[in-house]
Structure formats: structure tokens, C-alpha cells
Amino acid sequence: MICLNCNSTDARIWRKREDGTESCNNCSDVRRPVAYDVYFKEPYYDENLANKENPHGRWVPDKKTKAQYMQEKGIREAGDKVRGARTII
């Protein structure tokens, strides 16, 4: 579909405004909610997220920071949410 607002041909997300006009994700008018795909209960120290600056691990204060650390390393988390086991893939 083509966005009538910016003439983009690869638009994916649409929004219809109150005045009847439409816009797409390429117009910078549509905002996506941010959801980090990591488990976080409380701040902790994680040895699995070590890097050159922090060879023994890193302090993880919040979910956003944990997601950034994992993205830097190119890993994702898979585990048992019920029993609490963590596996880094």
C-alpha cells in the first residue's frame, strides 16, 4: 500500500487521525510501544553479561539495561519462567 501522507510504498503500520487523514510508520507519526524481551525481577549482578571492560560480569539495574547488554553481545534469553531457570542462547 502507498501512504497518501508521505508517498511511501513500504508502509506497514497505519494510523487514522480524527480529521480523517492517514499516516504510516515512515511518516514518523506512528509510535510503537517498546517492549523488552527479557526477564527482570529486581536489580542483580550477572556474570553472563561480561565484556572487555567488565570481565567478571555486569550490574543489571533494570530491564532496559539488561536488554541493551544482551543485544550488544548478540544473545537472547530463554528459560523457565515458572521455576526460574535461565539459559542464555
- Retrieve residue 16's grid coordinates: 487514522
3-state secondary structure of 78: strand
Domain range for 53: 44-88
User: Exposure of 48 by Cβ count < 10 A (0-12 exposed, 13-18 middle, 19+ buried)?
Assistant: middle
Q: Is residue 9 part of a domain?
A: yes
Residues 78 and 54 in one domain: yes
Model confidence over 30-79: pLDDT tens digits? 455 566 678 888 999 999 889 899 999 999 999 989 988 888 888 877 76
Residues 59 and 80 in one domain: yes
pTM: 0.52
Q: Is residue 22 part of a domain?
A: yes
Residues 83 and 58 in one domain: yes
Residues 63 and 83 in one domain: yes
Q: Which helix (H) or strand (E) holds 59?
A: strand 58-60
Q: Is residue 19 part of a domain?
A: yes
| Number of folded domains that form the chain | 2
